Structure 1
Amino acid sequence: MRRTDREITDRAWMEEVLNDAVYATFALCDGNEPYAVPLNFAYRDGALYVHSACEGRKVDVIRKNSSVGFSAVLGAEFTSAEAPCAWDMRYRSVNGVGTAEAVEDLAEKAWALNLIMAKYSGRGDHVFTEKQLAAVAVFRIRVRNLAGKRGMD
């Protein structure tokens, strides 16, 4: 990282950003063309969980190439100054890379969906039918690397 003065290496800090972020943008490798998509997600024990329809570009791309990059940003706010080059930004961000894999086990799929629901609704005790679970794809992204960064304080 070029701006080491803004680098955060504290894992707990980075996990807090991931847990507080409303969404992250996921970068997928679609052959010679990158594909970025914002998704809701939940983080637990070194993995991100996302859900999706069972078909579509995102699912097709992940099945062809499981490498995933992601970026989550909190509190982005410009700060102005007299000189244009002195403008800055406040933020907290986490970038990372990982490997996506489909969650096929129905119990784990229900657990992951409840993890996502708990993050956004405060409730993680939903009961899903087998039909509901079959109608949704869930991916676990095992995080290989995280990098934290913050803008000016």
Structure 2
Amino acid sequence: MRHRTKTHLLTQEQILELLHRAEVGRMGTFSKDGFPYIVPMHFVYFDNKIYMHGLPMGEKVDNIKYNQNVCFEVDEMLSLLYEGVENPCDVNTEFNSIIIQGYASIVDDFYEKQKALSQIVKKFTPHLLDKEMPPKMIEGTAVIRINIIKCVGRYYK
């Protein structure tokens, strides 16, 4: 298994394609009690950053304020590889995955929030892109930005 983690790397182009097509990623944070906390989030990738949105309060926001170090994971299972397999332990999975390490922060700048939220609308509800977002909605929404410091993509076929 260890050998495969070095030889089955996604190219930068494949990583970008997966970040653009994936709809959900999982962000891992640390809580004050030392336990990790992982939450699935809709996200967009642009300007070499991950952006997500949500309520301005809650465990993930508290954790980011406590410790900005985060991990972000995206994956896609393509198929089970079981054809011709007689032993259940020999079944494998065809997949692509990305693991990102970075620093998360809550975006305060109104225009950066507006841009991130527009990108989220463009990705998930493009038919609403021409609708104006009320400033109070933008101000009342938490936008999380992950500045990427390390990104590794892997695959198996």
Q: Cα offset for 1:129?
A: 1.7
Q: Secondary structure at the match of 1:55?
A: coil
Q: Deviations over 1:35-86 (max 9, x none)?
A: 0000000001210001010111111111111111011012342221222232
Partner residue in 2 for 1:62: 64
Give ranges in structure 2 of 5+ residues lacking alignment.
none
Partner residue in 2 for 1:41: 43
Q: 1:15-54 residue pairs with structure 2 within 5 A?
A: 15-31=16-32, 32-54=34-56
Identity of aligned residues (%): 29
| Aligned residue identity for 1:101 | S
Is residue 77–residue 93 contact of structure 2 (8 Å, CA) maintained in 1?
Answer: no
Give ranges in structure 1 of 5+ residues lacking alignment.
none
TM-score normalised per structure 2: 0.89
Residue 88 (str. 1) matches residue 92 (str. 2): yes
Task: Pick from 103, 112, 116 the counterpart of residue 116 of structure 2.
Answer: 112
Residue 133 (str. 1) matches residue 138 (str. 2): yes
Is residue 24–residue 72 contact of structure 1 (8 Å, CA) maintained in 2?
Answer: yes
Partner residue in 2 for 1:74: 76
Which portions of structure 1, spanning 4 or more consecutive aligned residues, are displaced by more than 6 angstroms?
none
Is residue 51–residue 137 contact of structure 1 (8 Å, CA) maintained in 2?
Answer: yes
Q: Cα offset for 1:130?
A: 1.9
Is residue 95–residue 155 contact of structure 2 (8 Å, CA) maintained in 1?
Answer: yes
TM-score normalised per structure 1: 0.91
Q: Secondary structure at the match of 1:82?
A: coil
| Aligned residue identity for 1:148 | G
Is residue 114–residue 126 contact of structure 1 (8 Å, CA) maintained in 2?
Answer: no
Is residue 95–residue 156 contact of structure 2 (8 Å, CA) maintained in 1?
Answer: yes
Does 127-136 or 38-47 show the bigger shift?
A: 127-136
Q: Cα offset for 1:151?
A: 1.6
Residue correspondences, number: 151
